């Protein structure tokens, strides 16, 4: 279930890394003009599972190396006595897309999670080892209020082609990244509490 959650966050989680340098560090470019991609940023989320707040998720945006920008995710569960997991993923930008390798075991494979300058109705597909993952842009000016404030968001729905009834919806804001992430199939919700 935690692995499913991480997929939601990046793509699901996710979430978003950057580097202020224009340098190219080997195989993946560190150049990014996606506004929320900045090394040193930290986003804190309320972790709500089956209608009950269980703790927090903190995402820290790290430096770029030859594999991309390293994103560290830490989960804190109040009802389980504290810190439970820390996971690292890589992100990079190609064109208008943020790509993530938080792909559930498909090593070295990046998929497109977020699209800068998206238009309602945009869609794209990724091949996940023989299964299609489909992304649809539902809205580009959706106002959403979460504990961190009110944001205008691009709303992206994603689902596997063989089970479209199980989906994730992520509200992205160009300045802060993920504002809300929701999955209907495991009743998991993340709401942004703070960002710097």
Which CATH number belongs to the domain containing residue 37 in this structure? 2.40.360
Residue ranges making up the domain that contains 48:
2-195
Long-range contact pairs involving 126-133 (C-beta distance under 8 Å, separation at least 24)? 128/103, 128/104, 128/160, 131/160, 131/161, 131/162, 132/160, 132/161, 132/162, 133/158, 133/159, 133/160, 133/161
Write the pLDDT tens digit of every residue in 140-193.
999 999 999 999 999 999 998 888 899 999 999 988 999 999 998 776 788 889
29 close to 69: Cβ distance less than 8 angstroms: no
For 69-129, give the DSSP string.
Answer: EEEEEEEEEGGGTEEEEEEEEEEEEETTEEEE--STT-TT--EEEEETT--TT-EEEEESS
The pLDDT value given to residue 47: 86
The pLDDT value given to residue 16: 31
Task: Please list the ranges in the chain whose pLDDT falls under 50.
Answer: 1-26
The pLDDT value given to residue 138: 98
How many domains would you assign to the chain? 1
The pTM score is 0.80
The pLDDT value given to residue 106: 52
The pLDDT value given to residue 103: 55
């Amino acid at each position: 279930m935690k692995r499913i959650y991480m997929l939601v966050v990046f793509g699901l989680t996710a979430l978003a890394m950057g580097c202020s340098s224009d340098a190219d560090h080997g195989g993946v470019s560190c150049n990014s003009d996606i506004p929320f991609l900045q090394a040193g940023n930290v986003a804190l989320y309320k972790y709500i599972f089956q209608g009950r707040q269980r703790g927090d998720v903190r995402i820290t945006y790290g430096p770029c190396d030859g594999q991309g920008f390293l994103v560290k995710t830490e989960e804190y569960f109040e009802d389980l006595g504290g810190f439970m997991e820390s996971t690292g993923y890589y992100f990079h930008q190609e064109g208008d897309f943020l790509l993530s390798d938080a792909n559930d075991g498909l090593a070295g494979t990046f998929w497109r999670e977020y699209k800068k300058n998206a238009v309602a109705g945009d869609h794209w597909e990724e091949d996940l080892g023989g299964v299609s993952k489909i992304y649809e842009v539902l809205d580009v000016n959706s106002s959403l209020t979460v504990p961190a404030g009110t944001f205008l968001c691009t709303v992206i729905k994603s689902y596997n082609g063989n089970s479209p009834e199980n989906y994730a919806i992520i509200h992205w804001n160009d300045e802060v990244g993920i504002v809300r992430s929701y999955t209907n199939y495991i009743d998991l919700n993340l709401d942004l509490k703070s960002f710097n």
